[in-house]
Structure 1
Amino acid sequence: MGIDATTPGDGDVTLVFSLGAARSLADPAAAFADARRWSRHVGIVANEADQVAAFARDHGVENDYELTNWDKWGTLADVREESAAPRCVFVGTTRADERVATETGYEFLRVDEAAEKAGWELSEPGATGAGGEGNEDGRLARLRRAVRDALSRFR
């Protein structure tokens, strides 16, 4: 695991998105490019490194975080330890994301809050609402994304 030191910005924030949060962005490449203007490092973490790599490739997103065999918890802890930025912010969608952020020393922002503050558009505004993991619409949205991502591998 490591931070890719070849693409650091000069901001005071290390910004990390959960894969679910990145999938919620209407234009992930534009949001990441915007975030790079004010962040030292920007990337995506998840327990499924292959899904993160596929998402980054499919959406033209450069991920500053090297994902290996770590889960989200280990990756976030390593990024936090290696980052020289004074602030580390984790953008997520669920209560579990908030818990991992808190436990690993990150500020937590829900993707809808981050998008509003940064001026980014969300692709499915209702999918990341306050209902969290138990939200039926959220489950359906995650299922649709999983099927869409699986199908995209066969194109």
Structure 2
Amino acid sequence: MKDAGGSEDMTLAFELTALRSLANPSTVFANTRQWTSYTGIVSEEPTHALTNYARSRRIRQDFFSGPDGKAGTLEKVKSQFESERYVFVGTDEDDRELAESVGWEYLDVREAADAADWELRDEEAEAESGREDWP
């Protein structure tokens, strides 16, 4: 996901739903650390749920949503973390509109996974086996 010039000066934010759609979110985070300046998770979920998700997967984030919600978090991150690019990885048109409204680039998680060689979860197989991906 580097830009055409090969810049690694990027702040990357995953919407929690997008991150949960990946088969190995901790591996993805480790991978992104090689080519981003800052990486974090944003969500409307309560802070404790987001923290539990990250902690249980040993994900070390540079930032995460607080009481300001996704839009407030993205605005705050942009003002506090200086980067050439700000990229928000999401799952739907609402995420795209949010990114655009706060001046971030938007990238659908399926496109990101394809570009970076990340594996998506097989939700059908997990549903059949009774496995759930949460706390």
Same fold judged by TM-score > 0.5? yes
1:41-80 to structure 2, matched below 5 A, reads 41-48=38-45, 49-80=47-78
Which of 21, 25, 28 aligns to 2:25? It is 28
Structure 1 unmatched runs, 5+: 1-9, 127-140
**Overall identity of the aligned pairs, in %:** 39
Q: Assess, with a 3 A threshold, how the Cα gap between structure 1 residues 34 and 18 changes in structure 2: closer, same or farther.
A: same
Instruction: Tell me which protein shows more helix as a share of its residues.
Output: 1
Structure 2 unmatched runs, 5+: 1-6
Rounded Cα–Cα distance in structure 1 between residues aligned with 2:123 and 2:106: 19
| Residue type at the aligned position of 1:107 | E
Q: Assess, with a 3 A threshold, how the Cα gap between structure 1 residues 21 and 66 changes in structure 2: closer, same or farther.
A: closer
Q: Assess, with a 3 A threshold, how the Cα gap between structure 1 residues 66 and 18 changes in structure 2: closer, same or farther.
A: closer
Q: Moved runs in structure 1, 4+ residues, more than 6 A?
A: none
Range moving further from structure 2, 61-70 or 113-122: 61-70
Say if 2:11 is the partner of 1:14. Answer: yes
Is the Cα–Cα contact under 8 Å of residues 13 and 40 in structure 1 kept in the other structure? yes
1:74-153 to structure 2, matched below 5 A, reads 74-124=72-122, 148-149=133-134, 152=135
Rounded Cα–Cα distance in structure 2 between residues aligned with 1:13 and 1:66: 16
Give the TM-score normalised by structure 2. Answer: 0.83
Give the TM-score normalised by structure 1. Answer: 0.73
Rounded Cα–Cα distance in structure 1 between residues aligned with 2:19 and 2:105: 17
Matched residue SS, 1:105: coil
Q: Which has the higher contact order (CA 8 A, sep 6+)?
A: 2
Q: Deviations over 1:18-58 (max 9, x none)?
A: 00011011101111100000000011001122221111011
Q: Assess, with a 3 A threshold, how the Cα gap between structure 1 residues 47 and 117 changes in structure 2: closer, same or farther.
A: same
Quote the RMSD (CA, aligned, Å).
2.2
Matched residues, number? 124
Rounded Cα–Cα distance in structure 1 between residues aligned with 2:26 and 2:77: 21
